[in-house]
Structure 1
């Protein structure tokens, strides 16, 4: 409906980010509930860095690549932000307890709080966007 303007794009990105925040909340809760499970590996959700990369690809600057053959590998290819989705990744790199579990309750609690605050900020931003649209329509 509004995809072609910045209002629609902002709302779409906020909507996607809020959905990811809900998924992240579920993932963190899963991590916390399995904190005592032997050999459990915590999961994290990756989304924001990929979204930033997709949004930055629209304004790519620098040298252009000369493609003289269809078999050449394209770079600085523009990526549609709507094609980006959240990825659930297992964390094998962090240190584990003696039982092979790598969940730190304090860290997960902090991440849960940060996620909740981010969600609240995004809901305020959506409210602000509609408030601005309401002002324009008056």
Structure 2
């Protein structure tokens, strides 16, 4: 039985995605001047498909047993193979990376605010509404 009906788990998966995307963007920005560097990105569709398709569940021998599930996450970071932004073979567009970083930061902060609200609600209930 989940306390919030799986909300915290879903928000956690969103934070994992945002963190992985932030790492890919940081690597792209760090290698903006590296010759033949291929820009990296994280596909939300790939991560979502993997999260939905890689759930392991145990056999329930009695209907009173809890449903047991373990999700395995193998998030994918991929390269833009045939994309060249500069003459030296570098595939990083600095303006696009900065815009993507800003968008990802907003997404991450929204998830943090939502988790904080859920935990504050739980804290209020534990304290008896005080």
Instruction: Report the TM-score, using the length of structure 1 for normalisation.
Output: 0.67
Unmatched tracts of structure 1, length 5 or more:
58-77
Unmatched tracts of structure 2, length 5 or more:
56-69
1:36 partnered with 2:25: no
Greater mean deviation of Cα atoms: 115-124 or 6-15: 6-15
Q: Hey, what's the Cα distance between the residues in 1 that align with 2:96 and 2:9?
A: 30
Pick the aligned partner of 1:109 from 98, 102, 108: 98
Q: Hey, what's the Cα distance between the residues in 2 that align with 1:10 and 1:119?
A: 15
Structure 1 residue aligned with 2:71? 82
Aligned partner of residue 78 in structure 2, secondary structure: strand
Structure 2 residue aligned with 1:19? 16
Q: Deviations over 1:30-58 (max 9, x none)?
A: 10111111111011123x32454467x6x
Structure 2 residue aligned with 1:7? 4
RMSD value, Cα: 2.5
* Runs of 4+ displaced beyond 3 Å: 50-55, 93-96, 134-137
Q: Deviations over 1:4-62 (max 9, x none)?
A: 3362622122223213322222221110111111111011123x32454467x6xxxxx
Instruction: Report the TM-score, using the length of structure 2 for normalisation.
Output: 0.71
- The 3 A distance-change label for structure 1 pair 111 and 8 is same
User: Alpha-carbon deviation of 1:108?
Assistant: 0.2
